[in-house]
Every structure is written in C-alpha cells, then in structure tokens.
Chains A and B, each alone.
Chain A
Amino acid sequence: MWRFIGGKILHLIPVLLLVSLAVMILINLIPGNPAYAILGTQATPSQVRIVDAQLGLNKPLVIRYIDWIGGILHGNFGTSLFTQQPVFQTIISRLPVTLELALLGEIIALVIAIPLGVLTAYKAGSLIDRSSRTVAALLVSAPGFLTGLLLAYIFGVKIAILPVTGWVPLNQGVGENLRYVLLPAITLALAQIPIFMQLLRADMIATLQEDFVLAARAKGLPTRAILLRHALRPSMFSLLTLSGVALGTLLGGTVIVESIFSLPGIGSLLIESIFNKDFITVQGIAMFIALAYVFINIVVDIGYGVLDPRIRRRSTA
C-alpha cells in the first residue's frame, strides 16, 4: 500500500521538473524584453542593462532556472515585474475566486448530473433518456465562451436579474457573492454536466445488469432503495475519479469564464500578465497550476487505489 503511494509520489518529481523546465524555456522564448515594458520604449540601452541586472535577467538560463526552482521550494515564486509584489501573494489573493468558481461549478454539475444519470440509466431508451442525451450532446459541443455569452445575454441583458461582471468576496456577504458567482459557475457546470451524466449512466446501466441487483429485486426491495443504496455506490467509481481530475483541470480552465465575466481570479491574472509582458508572474502561475493539477491527480490516483484494490496490484505488477 505504501509502496503504491510512494511510487506515485516518486513519479511526481520528474514530471514536475520537466514541467518547470518547459515553463521556463517557453516563457523565455517569448521575444520582448520586459525591461522595456517597465521603463517604456524610450529607455536607453544602459538603463535597460541596469534593470536587467536588477531582475537577474543577465544571468545564464541555467542559473536562473536553479534560482527559480530553489525559490519555489521555499514558496517564493518570484516578484512580479509589473506590480513589484511577490507573485505567490498575488496568486494566493486571487485563488479564492477561482477556487470558489471551480468548486461551485463542479458541485452544481454533480447535483444535476447524478440524479439525471441515475434516472436516464434506469429509464434507458425512453423519451426522457433520449432527449436528455440530445441536450447533452449539444452542451458538450458548445464552447465555454458561447454558453457564457448566452447566459450573460439571457440573464444579464434580456432578463436582467444577475450581474454580468464583477465580484463580491464571500466575507462581504454570502448573498451578494452568490449573485456574482452564479452565472459563471453555471457556465462551467453546463460544460461538465453532460460528461458526468453520461459516465454515471453508462456505469449504472452496467451495474443494473449485474446479478446482485436481480437478487435485490427478488428480495422485494423497493426500486428507490435498490437504485440509490445498492446500485449507485459501485457505479460511482469512475465518476469520482473524473470529478477529482476535472477539478484539477478546471483550476487552469477558468480563463475563458473569468474573462467573460470579469472575475478577479487566477485565469484573468494570467491574461493580464501576458499582455503586460510580466513573464515572471506568468511563469509563477503556470507552475502553480501545474503543481495543483499534478497534486490533485496524485490524490485521486491514491484515493482510487484505496477504494479499488485491483488498481494497486496492477500498478506494481
């Protein structure tokens, strides 16, 4: 068991190293010296050189990489070229927005997808089943920015009940916060509902065909009990894995939604930093997102291994 977990963590290290390497190389490929962004285009070469030295840009790439990695291990993601603030602090200050958005989006998705999944599995082939699957296909094909725009249009413009831009943090009132987070969260949820629903449906259909369900029926158990208590749990495995990993992906995937609804999250920070040529922040965010993604994946992997012992065996074989 511990060997399994240890193996997973061991796998993590080279992955992260590679990611950090790639991040640094890529960012540094982007042309444009940030010194000019800071000093303005009228800067003289000597001024640029001074800023370069200040920022450590004149050191060779390898040294900068080592410094950067060392910094990260101490929680220091560098200092923003633009705001002079520590990148880590900025990320952390913006993290709650993205986190709340991602979590809420996923919760909404699960709340809607699980009952729908069970229902369509139970009534497979019926009108409800077929129509919800059509809707699912449509939702899946629609790009995030499209659903976001549509929702903003309907609920923000036509029936103006929800604000389209802006954000109120939780500690300033849950109700207000909810008003601002609802549309973006629903946008995210709409993208995930069809996926969760179909996955649960597929697993549920398979489970319902198994013998123990037949045995439960023969015992005379009511349908609802069978569905919810006996059949649902084994069918949830894949869904749990998926929602775990989806959360990781979402953390980096809120860019579009934050952009449309002008939310002060990590995604919009990323866009801003890119336009500001603040590549240290960009590096920091990229690394942070990658770390979060890998970490969540490991947790999901381990959790899965805990739940299903067959996985453990397969990995060590």
Chain B
Amino acid sequence: MSNPELVRADADPLMGLGGPVTGWQARALRGSAGLVRGRIGVTLALGWLVVIICLALLAPVLPLPAYFDFVGAPKVALGLHAPYLLGTDYLGRSVLVRLIWGTRISLTVGLLAVFLGMIIGLAVGMTAGFFRGRVEAVLTVFIDAALAFPPLILLLAITAVLQQKLSTLIIAFTLLTIPSFARLARANTLAIAQREFVLAARARGTGSFRIIRREILPNVILPTISYSFIIVASVMVAEGSLDYLGLGIPPPTPTWGGMIASGQQFLATNPELVFVPAVVLLLTVLSFYTLGDYGRRHLDVRQAKL
C-alpha cells in the first residue's frame, strides 16, 4: 500500500497548465513506460538529452543561420531535400535552427528553476519536518497556501510586472516548484526522523543542525533528486504551455510552444509545423521523466532493503 502521507505529500503546482506529470501522480507512476523502462529506455533518454543539451550549448557557434534568417520558401515540409532537413516555418525560417534555440530557453527555465526550487524547498521542508511544533505549523500554512494558489495567476502577475523575459520565467517557476519540494521534503523528513538512528544521534548529544545535515539530508536528497527530474519535465511542459498561450517569451524569440502556436493555423495543410516541435517537446519531457522514474525505482529498492 502506498504510504498515504507520501501520496498526499506532493501536489502538482503546474497541472493547470497542462503538465500533469508531477506530484503524487508521478509517485504513483512507479515503473511506468513498459517498453521504455529498463536500460534501453534510460539509455535512449540519456542520449537524447545529451544531444539536445550539446546543441543548445553550442548554438551560438554552430555553422547554422540565425533563427530569424530566411532560408527558403515558407512552409517547406521536412525531408532530405528540405533546407536543413526540417524545413521552414510559416515565414521561411529554418525550423531546425529555431528548435535548437528554443531548446536553450526550455532547458534553462526547466533546469535552473527546478534546481533553485529544490534547494529552497529542501531547506523549508526539512526544517518543518524536523522541528515540528509551531515552526512546522507556520511553514505548513505557507506551503498549503502556496499550493492552493492558482499557478496561472502567479505566472501572469509576475510576467506582467517583470516583463516577459527569461529571468522572469525562471523566478516564477522557481516560486512555483518550491512548495512541491517543500512538501515532499517534509514528508520524507517526518519518515526519516522517526528512524532509530536519528534517535541514537540525539541520544549521544548531536545538535539539531548536525542531525539534519548528517542524518536526514543524505536520506532525503536521493528521492528528491529523482523527483526533481520529473518536476523538470513538468516545468518544461508548463513553460511550453505559457509560450503557446502567448504569455511566455514573446516572438520573434523561438520557443517550442510558440512554434506550435504559430503553426496551429496551418494544421490542416502543414501539420508538421505543429508536430515537429511537438515531438521534440514530447521526447524531451519523456526523457526527463524516464530518468526520474528510473532513478526513483532504483533508489526505492535500496531504501526498502534498509
């Protein structure tokens, strides 16, 4: 039986934006992806991510045209004869190049926001879970309030105030992921803090912060990291949704969501304008998700053993 506390522990801050992949949902999806699970899936996922990360990092120095250059007639379908393999968008710009530059945005927001959110969330959650009492009550109120807050509003408010920039998105998504990490960290800390080795540490005179650092943190960090991969997947989806709605990074900067949105009007005649960026987004999200899930299964076994 899944631990009900842990099932409820995480909540998805981003489900409203079409990325229902985090939270208890993700915990439940243990060992999913039948054919994709296992070493093959993980290798493929890792491979894909390595490729796109390299491309994203090298984008400025690659011998490719700029993302706003016109490289051919509009809406040339993808294929071996097409300019740069993936064809052109509705204005005649290279789809491949725009995808690569779009990767930079999605990856930056996803990785950075989740990394920062994880660190802050861990700190908050472990404090709440370890010290209990009034500290926990106050922190839990804040965490619950943050989770009850409609995420779209937060995103919109922040983007409206701080302009639609990359840094704005990073700040907004960091804020959105903190409560999820905090709740998970708190639940994990509660479980760990009851273990006997924590009591033993206290019994021999270890101070609170040392206990958190040496006893609790190493046991909490591993499931948190696996979980963070899955959160990255969710953030990327949400960020894509924002771009799709026009509320994220505005054109002409290429984003996956933006490309999908602009391609949508040509869905009947040139569906690849939508589906090529869609597939890229899908593969990336799936890869992060597979890695996170694999990490979690792998670690859960170790933890169950102990």
Q: Range of interface residues on chain B?
A: 35 or more
Q: Which of A274-317 contact B (CB under 8 A)?
A: 274, 282, 285-286, 289-290, 293-294, 297, 304, 308, 311, 314
Q: Say how far A114's CB is from chain B's closest CB, in angstroms.
A: 14
Contact A15 B145 (CB under 8 A): yes
Is A195's CB within 8 Å of the partner chain B? yes
Q: Which of B1-37 contact A (CB under 8 A)?
A: 1-2, 4-5, 7-8, 11-12, 15-21, 24-25, 28-37
Out of A32, A134, A192, name the residue touching B36 (CB < 8 Å).
A134
Is B245's CB within 8 Å of the partner chain A? yes
Chain A residues near B (Cβ < 8 Å): 11, 14-16, 18-19, 22-23, 26-27, 29-32, 129-134, 136-138, 140-146, 149, 153, 157, 191-192, 194-196, 198-199, 202-203, 206-207, 234-235, 237-238, 241-242, 245-246, 249-250, 252-257, 259, 270-271, 274, 282, 285-286, 289-290, 293-294, 297, 304, 308, 311, 314
Is B290's CB within 8 Å of the partner chain A? yes
Chain B residues near A (Cβ < 8 Å): 1-2, 4-5, 7-8, 11-12, 15-21, 24-25, 28-37, 140-142, 144-145, 148-154, 156-158, 160-161, 233, 237, 240-241, 244-245, 257, 260, 264, 267-268, 271, 274, 278, 281-282, 285-286, 289-290, 293
With known contacts A23-B153, A249-B12, A242–B28 Cβ distance under 8 A: yes
Contact A255 B7 (CB under 8 A): no
With known contacts A129-B34, A133-B32, A199-B28, A153–B271 Cβ distance under 8 A: yes
Contact B20 A241 (CB under 8 A): no
With known contacts A271-B245, A290-B148, A140–B32 Cβ distance under 8 A: yes
Chain B interface mostly: helix
With known contacts A143-B240, A256-B17, A30–B160 Cβ distance under 8 A: yes
Contact B33 A134 (CB under 8 A): yes
Contact A29 B161 (CB under 8 A): yes
Q: Say how far B233's CB is from chain A's closest CB, in angstroms.
A: 7
Out of A137, A207, A242, A289, name the residue touching B33 (CB < 8 Å).
A137
